[in-house]
Amino acid sequence: MKIKCILSLFALTLLFGAARREQVATDHPKATTANPLLAAPDELFDFARLDVAKMREAATQTESDIQGMLAAIMAVDDEKRRFDNTMQVLDDLKNKIYIFIGLGELITSAHPDEGVRNAAGEMQKQFTTISDDLLLNESLYKAVSAYAKTPEALSLTGERKFFLSKWVADFKRNGMTLAKSDRDTLQAINQQLNDLSVEFGHHISNDKTVVILEESDMAGLSEGFKKPFYNKDGKYYVIMSTPVYAQFMAYAKNPAARKKMYTAKMNIGGAENERLLVTILALRKRKANLLGFKTYAEFITADIMSKNTKNVWSFEKKLATDLRPKAQADLAAMLAVKSKETGKRETTIYPYDNAYYAARLMEKKYRVDPEKVKEYFEIQQVIGGVFTVYQKLYNLNFVRDTTPSVWHKDVQAYSVWDNESQKRIGYFYLDLYPRENKYNHFACFPITGSKKLLGGNEQLHSAALVCNFPAPTAEKPSLLAHKQAETFFHEFGHLIHVLLSETELASLAGTNVPTDFVEAPSQIMENWCWQKNVLRLFAKHYKTGEVIPDTLVDRMLLARNMNSGMNMLQQVFYGTLDFTLNDGMEVKSQADITAKVRELQNSITLCPYVEETHFAGSFGHLTNYGSQYYGYLWSLVYAQDMFSVFEKEGVLSPEVGKRYRTQVLSKGGSNEALNLVRNFIGREPNNKAFLKQQGLK
């Protein structure tokens, strides 16, 4: 099986004329230092040698290096300030900060050793605090302000000009003009927020919830699904990993069992995290007020694409209105299926009914059996398909590292080569399957981004995808739902955004873009999982090798917008909840949060709130994306508009791929996001493609 998968991927690579594997060097330089995290810019971190002592040693050494770099900036006479001795050094130290925050986030989310995970969490807090403190460092502010007045600074253009202007604005925006006592207060608030956010995430990623179920609760689920959870006491001990939960909710016939699973899922982090959230929201409001803003949402939106809260509220409210007719039609279709199954007139689809009746509707109306569809999406074939698309569009070659230094034996690693220059530009890791104490969803973790070094060399780019696809068993390989394959295309979009960035400065590299645009380069790539000519390349039956039939794809395409109204309303609910909590709502206790969740879920979505759940405590985006979750749908509008160019000119066109790589991906955050979109599509953006995708036009 292993040889077969490798040959299949190789054949796909050759099909599109990518560089031959044997022409590419496969050496992968590991850190040569005694400490695995103190790698040179052209080396990889030696994850296999990680331990708590080495992590703390690396963090201490790097913090010392950063303090030395800060001292070097301060030591320059103002009349001798230049970009290279002030702003370049500032970007150099920010690069170190980004790397250690990224390492902290990845290791605490994926490493199997508890001590190492905890040390990584400490490291994440440490360097986030260092980063926040830069904007409250009066000496650094004076140094940058002095440089900004020099003739050289006034003549800057392009990326360097953008970088300087951003620092000058960020100093003022983040409190540098406040009195010293207020800056000290702000610094303490930032520290508290960092600590609380890490704790909030820790409660979610380290959750060990198991739901105990009876045989009758497992009706509708296959023997293959049930077997791993069966206990000698005759009960089933079901875990909460994403693929397990999704499968259970789609196939378990017993509504009481589905409700039990749903309630457990919505209580991960739960009341404990809601208590933390009360404090987080109060601290955010205090921070915003200190900085001259009425609300935290006002503070956040002033610096990203939306520009102000009014635009966000208008966006969310209009979407809710536009989506409601489609959502009501979706609801009616599911109620018809539910009524037929129960034999009585049903009027409600509960949140724990949604996936189940959507699956039944898919089978009955569209004649698409998700379990049969999975048979065409064996995970190695999906990986091969993703690789083929990305290599073709962006003229790349991915080469497997057969002896990688990784944090877990199941992690795969690859070098990324640019075919035109024949240079290695980056490296990525795939951590594909669930395990205990691992982040339980799907995410890209940037590690090192683009940065020009002295002598004209570049820092090696690196990133990791941490996923939770169903693990293979002795009886069956890992088979993905089509939605999971789509998720892989999405997350790989984030990864490629990191790897194809070509910025001079690390501060503007890759995904360092406005948070209400960061999803667009990943969302656009989901579309390739719906193209017939792309699916034919890799969607093959895991037993027979038969290519997925066009007739099945046609039915899947007809069903693509099934429940799009209800699903998008759910996203509006998430965004509205996040924004409401941060835009003036008075939160005195966790009961206020629960009440607001109940109110918004009942008024926005068509599935009523389930009592005794604490969704807000399980919603990690409330800390990671505070006031910015609306950006998921905001980004999708731009993603679909950009995809319309590929639709028109060819979804596998290397020419369009090169333009997109050059005009969007390579730029990172070195220009206004709106300018990047305009430059690529050649006009002002609009929402026509988005509405079409959702079946609203």
User: How far is residue 522's CA from residue 490's CA, in Å, rounded to a whole number?
Assistant: 5
Q: What is the CA radius of gyration of the chain?
A: 25
The secondary structure element, H or E, covering residue 466 is strand 461-466
Q: Which is it for strands 423-431 and 461-466: parallel, antiparallel or unpaired?
A: parallel
| Residue whose pair of structure tokens reads 């009706």 in the numeric block | 219
Question: Would the pLDDT of 69 be above 90?
Answer: yes
Q: In the sheet where 412-418 sits, what is the strand order?
A: 396-400, 412-418, 423-431, 461-466, 443-448
Q: At the topology level of CATH, where does 1-26+375-524 sit?
A: Collagenase (Catalytic Domain) (3.40.390)
The SS3 of residue 519 is coil
Q: Pick the closest to residue 193 from 129, 102, 127, 280 (CA basis).
A: 280
pLDDT at 19 > cutoff 50: no
Stretch 315-335: mean pLDDT, rounded?
Answer: 96
665 vs 526: CA distance, rounded Å: 16
- Residue pair 450/110 in contact (Cβ under 8 Å)? The answer is no
Give the pLDDT confidence score for residue 587 in this predicted structure: 96
User: How many CB atoms are located within 10 Å of the residue 64 CB?
Assistant: 10
User: What pLDDT is recorded for position 696?
Assistant: 84
Between 270 and 607, whose confidence is greater?
Answer: 607
pLDDT band at residue 642 under the 50/70/90 scheme: very high
Provide the pLDDT confidence category of residue 450 given band limits of 50, 70 and 90: very high
Given this model, what pLDDT does residue 455 score? 77
Q: 14 pLDDT exceeds 70? A: no
Task: Output the pLDDT for position 350.
Answer: 98
* The residue to which tokens 């003229």 are assigned: 395
What tokens were used for 504?
Answer: 């001079």
Mean pLDDT for the stretch of residues 22-42: 74
Q: To the nearest whole number, what is the mean pLDDT of the chain?
A: 93
The letter for the amino acid at 536 is R
- Residue range 163-206, pLDDT digits in tens: 999 999 999 999 999 999 999 999 999 999 999 998 998 898 88
Q: What is the pLDDT of residue 697?
A: 72
The span from the CA of 180 to the CA of 163, in Å, is 26
Whether 26 has a pLDDT exceeding 70, the answer reads no
> Could you tell me which residues come within 8 angstroms of residue 179 by beta carbon, excluding any fewer than 6 positions away?
none
Q: What number is the average pLDDT over the span 514-529?
A: 97
pTM for the full predicted model: 0.89
Band the pLDDT of 9: cuts 50, 70, 90: very low
The domain limits of the chain are: 1-26+375-524, 47-134+137-173, 210-266
CB of 315 closer than 8 Å to CB of 687 = no
Contact criterion met (CB below 8 Å) for 338 and 331: no
Query: What are the tokens at 534?
Result: 């792309």
Cβ atoms within 10 Å, residue 333: 18
Give the angle subtended at the CA of 576 by the CAs of 572 and 580, to the nearest 5°: 180
Euclidean distance between CA atoms 503 and 500, whole angstroms: 9
Q: What is the pLDDT, as a whole number, of residue 27?
A: 58
Evaluate if residue 32 carries a pLDDT over 90: no
Find residue 428's DSSP bridge partners: 414, 463
**pLDDT on residue 130:** 96
Find the range with the poorest average confidence among 73-87, 436-450, 635-649, 667-681: 436-450
Q: How far apart are CA 156 and CA 667, in angstroms?
A: 18
DSSP annotation of 244 reads: H
Type of residue at 175: G
List of residues 6+ apart from 321 with CB closer than 8 A: none
**H-state helical runs in 395-433:** none
Structure tokens at 150: 């020099």
pLDDT at 558: 93
The fold for domain 47-134+137-173 equals Glutathione S-transferase Yfyf (Class Pi); Chain A, domain 2 (1.20.1050)
pLDDT digits (tens, 9 = 90+) for 668-686: 999 999 999 999 999 999 9
List the structure tokens of 107.
């290791």
Q: What is the 3-state secondary structure (H, E, C) of 406-431?
A: CCCCCCEEEEEEECCCCEEEEEEEEE
Kindly state the average pLDDT of the residues 650-671. Answer: 98
What's the pLDDT at 22? 35
The span from the CA of 361 to the CA of 555, in Å, is 12
Residue 458 is classified by DSSP as B
